[in-house]
Structures are given as structure tokens and as C-alpha cells.
Amino acid sequence: MPWAATPKDRLRDLLILVGTIVFTYVFVGLSPMNGKLAYFSIFFLTYAILTGTYQGVTRGSAAAKDAVVSSIVVVGAVATLIPITSILATVIAKGYKGLSINLFTTDMSLATATDPLSNGGLLHAITGTLTLVAIALIISVPLGILTALYMTEIKGRFMKPIKFLVQAMSGVPSIVAGLFILSAVLYPITKSSSGLMGALALSILMIPTIARTSEEVLLLIPSELREAGVALGGTQWRTVAMIVVPAARSGLITAIILGVARIAGETAPLLLLTGGGDKVNPNPFDGPMGSLPYYIWKSFYAGSEESITRAWAGLLVLIVIILVLFISARSLSSRKVK
Amino acid sequence: MSIAVDPVKPREITTQPRLSDRVFRGIVTTGGFSSLLILGLISLFLGYRGFEVFRNEGLSFITSSEWSIVFDESGNIVESNFGLAAMLVGTILCALVAVIIAVPISVFSALFLNFYAPAWLKKILVAVIDLMAAFPSILFGVWGFLVLMPSVEYWAKLLNKYLGFIPLFEIKPYFATRSPFVAGVVLAIMIIPIITSVSREVFAQAPLDRIQAAYALGATRWAMIKAVVIPHGRSGVIGGAMLGLGRAMGETVAVFTVLNIVFQVNWHILLGAGGNVASLIILKFGEASPYEIKALMAAGLVLFVLTLGVNALADFIVKRTGKSGR
């Protein structure tokens, strides 16, 4: 290929790179700046200037601009990745210190914030989060999928407004969902915080995620399948239930998993609604119920060294859960495409 | 021989759907309207609970920034003043800082993903950015407080040292911890994935024939982007930024952990005194009296209307680009 890089080109690129690294080290070392970010910014600045001038001298100003933009664009991508790398690294580095067997076998009912880490655990938080997610699923899966079916199968007169409303609903701040359940259910009806209240607020946040993802999945089902179903004499109900939904099954499961990932770490409404107990509470209808986000929040604000380690351990558990959900959703949806 | 032929009554032909279909359509339509129902109920209930506060405070609920309630010995309310001005200004300020930081980074990374990255790298990066969008806000809150805040404070000091003559970057009296700037940086990190994915989708819709035409005319990659992709995707990026703005305004936990809430309107982003409607609700909820809870509900309604408006506008702008430019 005539446009492939020749050894001479590669040598030149390497030289520019090495020159940049050397200059960055020397410059940052001599100047009063410090920190990784200083190295990062000086490195890219120098690289942009070096390649820019080289291209400008050899090929003119258009090429120089192109070279400078190329390095700026890489800066954007790297800047996006720095936080996620830092978050993952910190959570793993600080969280694994708090991991132990008793973390998964005991709750915090007999432990205080300053107790050593061998005392107490987050069993109540895990069971609580599982209960909350299960109830939220029972409510929001039917509603979310029905909304998606309305937009793809019925295509009624109100399709556009509903689509808009679902979009608007996905932007509802989580604290507002919490306040709504507080004002509409907790104060007038139950009058005490419980797991169910938290789950209701979580379903409000989950419905739009499920509805939007399911809609996208159902739109991918070829309309020939629907036409074939109807042509064979099936009613619309039979066609949807026996052909469309089974064909979209793995995509719908992906939608549900993404919905769970959306709410698993939701904190604000749970602070208002669940009461956040320290004991394993199997009854979602009565009594305070713990949850992972609440546990992290409480440990973080307890402020002692042990409790902050507990918070990091809780975050590690939460992040692993979200990672597993996310990877399973990805692998399911990529299988569907083939 | 005669066979008595029963006149067969012809089957009635109708376009009416069968009973099963009518039931099915009824159920699906009812389910489809759940979003309308929920949104309606949210505004109804928050409005109903907050009505008393709205009536007592009038316009000063938006314009004043005092938040106090005084009881006498027997627990009756002597005096109460609820005003959201400082919180609203703070919410908008933090969200704007976040958008100003996040938009350039997101646009550049979206350009990188679409036009610079090799296919394998693009696949990995898209997955990582999507994962980042699924991270819970408490994670950003704890990480932001313990890891990010010390370095952001260092940047804030640099900004103040070299750009302190601009009123926006003034710190007086000197107190730079937990400022709106820190909250803005945390929010920026949270909304970068959202703006990146919206921009990426909009850029991917840039007409291929024009891209190839630009290359065929000898354009460099940047010249092509400037001539084809940016004009096509401009309003989509604006819509994505608005979407991020809406998300940043409604964020609660991450802001609460890194922001010092002060009931005073403050435009100096580096000064450690900010406001945030959502954080106010968390802050005051624990010890609030029934009447103050009503005020918090009213504050929630204001936040709800604000985010709904921003989101609706964002949705409108993103939709419009889908149609134009093709």
C-alpha cells in the first residue's frame, strides 16, 4: 500500500514521541507544577505543538491544524477515561481491605461504626437491596414492557406524546420520585417507612429505562414476522404473545437488566423512604429496611476509619453487582444480533 | 327427491377486532398511559402538599433566600420563611459549571470514537463509557469527596491565583472547600458519558456521501469534520448538553457530599458556599417539622418542573436534528 507508513515515517513518529516524553519530564521537573495531571497536560500540549509544527513545515497549515486537532481529540478521550480508571482503582484498592467472610454473613445490628471490621457486615444491606429490586421488578416490568408494546405494536394516536412522556420521566430526579411516594403513599396511607415504599420510588425510576430499551428492541423485530402471524389467521394478541415477544426475548431481558442496574445504586429516595435498618428484615411491608446504598451512605457519614473502610467495601460489592449486570446485558444483546 | 337445504347464514364479515384483541389492546393502552399517570400524580401530589407553602410565601418562595422556622414553647409556628433563591441559583450554577467542563471533553471524545479510533478500540471505549453512565451517584459522591476534592481544590487555588481578578473566580473571605466548582467537576464527570453518547449518535448520522465528497476534494480529517460533521451535529450536541444539564440539576447524593450548603445567593464558583435544591431536601428532611416538610415538597415540585422543562427542550432539539440535515 503506497499510503502505509514507511519505516522512515515510523522513526519520525517515534522520535516525536520520545522527544515529547523527555521534554515533559524535564519541564515538569523544573517547574513548580506537580501531579499526574501536570504531566498529562504538558505531554499532550508538547505533542500537539511538535506534530503541528512538523506537519506545518512539511505539508502546510491545513495539515498542521489536522495534526493539532488529532491530539486534542485524543485528550478528550483520555480525559473521559481518567475518572473511570481512578474510580475503579480506588474502589478496588480501598474496598478489598474491608472484605471478609463475616461481611456476607452478619448484619450491623450488633456492631457500631467504630467496631473493628471483624464485627458486623452488610448481609442486611444485600438482602434489603435484593428485596427492593424484586418488588420494583414486579411493578415496573409489566408497565415498562406494556408501554413499549403500545409504542411498537398498537402505534395508537397517543404514540408521540407517550414517547415524549417516557423520555421526560427518565429525567425525573430520584429525589422527586422519593418525595412523591412520601406525599402520595407514605403520609396518607402507611404512615411508616418500609421497604415497599422504597421499592415504589425505585419503580418510577426503572419504568422509563425498561420502556425505552424494550421499545428499541421491539422495533428491531422485522415486521414480516408480525405480518406472517396475522396472515396465518392469528389475532394480534396471539401474534404479539407467541411471535413478537418470544423473538425479542433476549433483548427484553437486556432491558430489564439495564433497569436493575439503573436502580441498584439509587440512594436519595431510599434515604427518605426505607428507614435504613441495621438488621436483616425479611418483611418489606413493615419496619425499616437496609440497602446497599443506604449502608454506604451511613458508613461514609459515620466518619470513623473503620466505617469509611466499610463504605468502600460496600461500594466494591455494589460495583461488582453492577458490573455483572452490565456484562450479562451486553453478552445477551450481542448474541441477539448474530 | 328433495333435500331440505337449510339456508346457510353467511358468516358476518366485520372489521371489528375480536374480543381477545380488544382486551389486549385495552390492557396495552392502559399500560402505555402509566407514564402520563405517574407524571400527573407527581405534580398533583407535590402541588397539593406544597400548596399551603406556595400560598403563604407567594413569590418570595422563589425570590428570597432565607430558610428558617421558629417555634414557641408549645410547638406552634411563630414565624416561618422559606425561600429557594440561593438554592436555585446554586443548582443552576453547579449544573452550568458541569456542562461547560463536560461539553468540550464529550465532543472531542465523541469525535475520537467516530472518526479516529480503530474499530476494536471504539468497541471497548463505548462499552466502558456506557458502564460509566450506569455507575450509581453515591459512588461519585464518595469518590468525589475522598479522592477528587483535594486535587480540585488545588486547581481552584490556581484559578484563583491567576484569574482571581475576574469576579467569578474571587474568593472573599477565603474559604475554598466544598465550593460549587468542586460540585461542578463531580457533576461534569457524571454527565460526560451522557453527552458523549448523544454526540456520538448524532455524529454517526452525518451523511456519508458528504464525508466522502469532502475527502475526495482533498480535505484533511479535521477539514472534513469542520465542513460536514459539525454543521450537521451542532444542534444534536446542544440537545445532549441540555440533557446533561437536566441530569446535573436533579442530582442529589453526589452533590450533597461535596457541597457546602449556605442560604445566601453566591455567584463566586470557587467560594465554599453553594446551594442545591435536591441537597436541601436531604439536608432538611431529617429534622423537619410537618410544615417544613410541606415546604420541601414545594421545593421538590419546583425542581421537578425545572428538570422537566430542560429535558423537554433537550428532547425537542435532539429530535429536530434527526430530521434536518439529511
B112–A262: do the CB atoms touch at under 8 Å? no
Closest A-chain CA to B197: A80
The Cα of A76 is separated from the nearest Cα of chain B by a number of Å equal to 5
Average the pLDDT over B107-128 and give the result. 92
B132–A84: do the CB atoms touch at under 8 Å? yes
The Cα of A54 is separated from the nearest Cα of chain B by a number of Å equal to 16
Instruction: Answer for the pair B265, B85: CB distance below 8 angstroms, yes or no.
Output: yes
A-chain residues near B221 (CB < 8 A): 66, 69-70
Specify the domain boundaries for CATH 1.10.3720.10 within chain A: 123-337
The Cα of A84 is separated from the nearest Cα of chain B by a number of Å equal to 7
- CB contact, 8 Å: A215 with chain B? no
The mean predicted confidence, pLDDT, of chain B is 86
A70–B108: do the CB atoms touch at under 8 Å? no
Phi (first) and psi of residue B261, to 5 degrees:
-95, 125
| A56: CB partners within 8 A, 6+ apart | A63, A64, A67
| pLDDT > 70 fraction of chain B, expressed in percent and rounded | 94
The mean predicted confidence, pLDDT, of chain A is 87
CA angle A192, A193, A195 (to 5 degrees): 135
Which among B207, B160, B198, B204 has a CA at the least distance from the CA of B179? B160
CA angle B318, A179, B85 (to 5 degrees): 70
Find cell 428570597 and name the residue: B64
The answer on pLDDT for A70 being more than 50 is yes
pLDDT on residue B175: 67
The Cα of B82 is separated from the nearest Cα of chain A by a number of Å equal to 18
| B183: CB partners within 8 A, 6+ apart | B94, B97, B98, B254, B255, B258, B259, B274, B276
Class at the top of the CATH hierarchy for domain A123-337: mainly alpha
B38–A208: do the CB atoms touch at under 8 Å? no
Which among B95, B131, B151, B144 has a CA at the least distance from the CA of B254? B144
Find cell 413499549 and name the residue: A148
A236–B278: do the CB atoms touch at under 8 Å? no
pLDDT digits (tens, 9 = 90+) for B126-171: 999 988 888 999 999 999 999 888 888 888 887 888 877 777 777 6
Which cell numbers hold the place of A294? 443506604
Is the four-CA dihedral A106, A107, A111, A114 of positive or negative sign? positive
B-chain residues near A229 (CB < 8 A): none
The Cα of B3 is separated from the nearest Cα of chain A by a number of Å equal to 34
B-chain residues near A237 (CB < 8 A): 20-21, 23-24
The Cα of B201 is separated from the nearest Cα of chain A by a number of Å equal to 14
A315–B138: do the CB atoms touch at under 8 Å? yes
A172–B137: do the CB atoms touch at under 8 Å? no
B98: left (phi > 0), else alpha (psi -120 to 50), else beta? Answer: alpha
CATH of domain B85-323: 1.10.3720.10
Specify the domain boundaries for CATH 1.10.3720.10 within chain B: 85-323
| Other CB atoms within 10 Å distance of the CB of residue A240 | 22
Average the pLDDT over A115-125 and give the result. 81
Rounded CA gap, A151 and A161, in Å? 10
pLDDT on residue B324: 47
- CB contact, 8 Å: A141 with chain B? no
Rounded CA gap, A274 and B76, in Å? 29
Most A CBs within 10 A among B24, B34, B106, hence the mutation to make, goes to: B34
A143: left (phi > 0), else alpha (psi -120 to 50), else beta? Answer: alpha
Provide the pLDDT confidence category of residue B326 given band limits of 50, 70 and 90.
very low
- CB contact, 8 Å: A180 with chain B? yes
B-chain residues near A304 (CB < 8 A): none
Comparing A267-271, B82-86, B104-108, which segment has the lowest mean pLDDT?
B82-86
Question: A–B: how many Cβ contacts below 8 A?
Answer: 266
Q: What is the CA radius of gyration of chain A?
A: 27
- Closest Cβ opposite residue A167 in set B23, B141, B315: B315
CA angle B176, B181, B185 (to 5 degrees): 130
Put simply, the chain A residues between 220 and 239 with a CB less than 8 A from any chain B CB are 235-238
* Helices and strands: H and E segment counts in chain A: 14, 0
Put simply, the chain A residues between 148 and 177 with a CB less than 8 A from any chain B CB are 149-151, 153-154, 156, 158, 161-162, 164-169, 171-177
Read off the pTM.
0.89
pLDDT on residue A34: 65
B-chain residues near A300 (CB < 8 A): 141-142, 145, 257
A-chain residues near B33 (CB < 8 A): 158, 162
| pLDDT > 90 fraction of chain A, expressed in percent and rounded | 37
- Closest Cβ opposite residue B220 in set A63, A262, A315: A63
Give the DSSP letter of residue B136.
-
Rounded CA gap, A274 and A297, in Å? 13
* Helices and strands: H and E segment counts in chain B: 14, 2
pLDDT digits (tens, 9 = 90+) for B233-254: 888 899 899 989 999 998 999 9
Average the pLDDT over B197-213 and give the result. 90
A-chain residues near B188 (CB < 8 A): none
The answer on pLDDT for B325 being more than 50 is no
Put simply, the chain A residues between 261 and 290 with a CB less than 8 A from any chain B CB are 261-262, 264-268, 271-272
pLDDT on residue B174: 61
pLDDT digits (tens, 9 = 90+) for B253-309: 999 998 888 888 888 888 878 888 899 998 888 888 888 888 899 999 999 999 999
Average the pLDDT over B185-199 and give the result. 93
| pLDDT > 90 fraction of chain B, expressed in percent and rounded | 38
pLDDT on residue A2: 67
Most B CBs within 10 A among A139, A159, A179, hence the mutation to make, goes to: A179
| Other CB atoms within 10 Å distance of the CB of residue A326 | 18
A175–B281: do the CB atoms touch at under 8 Å? yes
Which cell numbers hold the place of B277? 435544591
